[in-house]
Amino acid sequence: GNSVTQMEGPVTLSEEAFLTINCTYTATGYPSLFWYVQYPGEGLQLLLKATKADDKGSNKGFEATYRKETTSFHLEKGSVQVSDSAVYFCALSTGAAGNKLTFGGGTRVLVKP
């Protein structure tokens, strides 16, 4: 079956540091890949997505590139802010089961001033 593995947290950084969260996946077919973010006490929001190999998703300074050869979708941001403190989820969808998302376990990121 499909699965997503992402690095465990928590990840603690200072403001303006570089952030990388690794994500790898296993899937049949050609999935779409997503990063969702969950701020404290809130639901999940789509951060970025990529629907085919070599696509780069970007939003709010975050980027991730769909690498089919390494089955990866690592999230990066060059200079984090305190407001980026949240839990980040990598996910995939093949369009089956009502566009079901298969999630990784989530990575908590804490940015300190």
Partner 1 sequence: EAQVTQNPRYLITVTGKKLTVTCSQNMNHEYMSWYRQDPGLGLRQIYYSMNVEVTDKGDVPEGYKVSRKEKRNFPLILESPSPNQTSLYFCASSSHEPGGPEQYFGPGTRLTVT
**Binding stretches for partner 1 (CB under 8 A):** 4, 8, 31-34, 36, 42-46, 49, 51, 89, 91, 93, 95, 97-101, 103-106
Instruction: Give the nearest distance from C-beta 113 to partner 1 in angstroms.
Output: 27
Cβ contacts of residue 42 below 8 Å, gap of 6+?
none
Question: Measured from the CB atom, is 38 or 85 closer to partner 1?
Answer: 38
Cβ contacts of residue 97 below 8 Å, gap of 6+?
none
Whole-angstrom Cα distance, residue 85 to residue 37?
A: 10
Instruction: Give the nearest distance from C-beta 49 to partner 1 in angstroms.
Output: 6
Instruction: Give the nearest distance from C-beta 112 to partner 1 in angstroms.
Output: 23
Token pair belonging to 35 = 């990063």
